[in-house]
Amino acid sequence: MAKSTASERPFPYHTMNFPYQRTLDALVTRRDYLRLLVLTSFGLFVGTAGVAGAALLNGPTAYPRTRVAEAAALPAGKALNFVYPTADDPAILVHLPDGRFRAFSQTCTHLACPVFWNAARGRLVCPCHEGIFDAETGLVVAGPPPRPLPRIALQAEQGSIYAVGVTR
Amino acid sequence: MMTKAPDDRRGAAGKVAAVHAQLVVVLAIVALQLWLITVALNEFFLGNLDSVWSLTIASGVLFLVALGVLFAHGE
């Protein structure tokens, strides 16, 4: 059977293998694209709200109130190791040079080495891989740790420092 | 001599221009929201949980603006 010529065929030859209709292009109008963008905008808002929801769930977890130390027994610029919330969770209480107290989990978020207070640098330092944390916020200042140190919520009462919860 | 009423000046080209303007504004809003969700995730993983809420509110306001732009021309 002789092959038909282009002028005889009612549609381009390639459409036998690729049945793509050029007119389908026109189905996505500018207004459709606009609606899609607004839908995307809604999706991004929902995503951001999801992050906020996760932040809400990640708030301080309350644990039994535990007395950590006498405030007067820990001079400014010094630190004290303790365990909280369980005996298997080492923690560190730091009396910052400006007088405020901060407490963090002592477990480095990189490979779980214990961090210690470096008074000369005013930072919490992990000696294993030189991870450095801000002693006020627990945020990573330098090194490989991927996350800040879990912070232990403190309460001061009648000269004593109490641990009351953990923010991971 | 007759003059055209203001509405008559909005022919097909005018309508296309209006939709283009809407697209540009909404595209800019979506780009801003992408940036906001990136910052929100960054703050979340850094542990700065307080600032995430303000970023969510900003994203919501931007979405409402985008919705307003969508319905601005008789959608």
pLDDT for B33-72, tens place per residue? 999 999 999 888 776 777 899 999 999 999 999 999 998 8
CB contact (8 A) between residue A139 and residue B59:
no
B6 vs A73, higher pLDDT: A73
CA distance A48 to chain B (A): 5
Confirm if A133 and A118 have CB atoms less than 8 A apart.
Answer: no
Give the residue with greater pLDDT, B38 vs B15: B38
Cα angle: A139, vertex A145, A151; to 5 degrees: 40
On whether the CB atoms of residues A63 and A164 are closer than 8 A, the answer is yes
pLDDT band at A161 (very low <50, low <70, confident <90, very high): very high
What letter does residue A20 receive in the DSSP assignment?
A: -
Quickly state the pLDDT bin for B21 (edges 50, 70, 90).
Answer: very high
**pLDDT at residue A45, as a whole number:** 97
Determine contact: A40 vs chain B, CB below 8 A.
yes
In one-letter notation, the amino acid at residue A113 is C
Please tell me the distance from the alpha carbon of residue A147 to that of residue A133, in angstroms, as a whole number.
Answer: 10
A148–B contact, CB cutoff 8 A = yes
Choosing among B53, B61, B73, which should be mutated to test the A contact, i.e. which has the most A CBs within 10 A? B53
Lowest mean pLDDT among A54-68, A116-130, A134-148, B49-63: A54-68
User: A138: how many CB neighbours lie within 10 A of its CB?
Assistant: 23
Q: What is the pLDDT of residue B14?
A: 77
- pLDDT band at B7, cuts 50/70/90? low
DSSP strand pairing (A140-142 vs A131-134) = antiparallel
Cβ under 8 Å to B: A residues 47-76: 47-49, 51-52, 54-56, 58-59
Residue A12 corresponds to which tokens in the numbers above?
Answer: 């381009």
Report the predicted TM-score, pTM, of the whole model to 2 decimal places: 0.58
Decide if pLDDT at A109 tops 90: yes
CB-based contact B33 A41, cutoff 8 Å: yes
What pLDDT is attached to residue B44? 85
d(CA A77, CA A75): 6
Q: Is the complex ipTM higher than 0.85?
A: no
Amino acid letter, residue A102? R
Average pLDDT over residues A63-79: 90
Give the chain B residue whose CA is nearest to the CA of A58.
B49
Residue A91's Cβ-count burial label (10 Å; 0-12, 13-18, 19+) is buried
Is B67 in contact with A38 (Cβ distance < 8 A)?
yes
What span, in angstroms and rounded, lies between the C-alpha atoms of A63 and A89? 13
Q: Give the mutation candidate from A34, A35, A48, A102 for the B interface (greatest B CB count, under 10 A).
A: A48
Helix B50-70 and helix B12-46, axial crossing angle in degrees, nearest 10: 170
Tokens representing residue A74 in the block: 């820990």
Specify the higher pLDDT residue, A41 or A27.
A41
SS3 A37: helix
Q: What's chain B's length in residues?
A: 75
Across the interface, do A34 and B36 touch by the CB < 8 Å criterion? Answer: no
Do A40 and B30 lie within an 8 Å CB cutoff? yes
Size of interface A-B (CB pairs under 8 A): 95
The pLDDT of A44-48, averaged and rounded, is 97
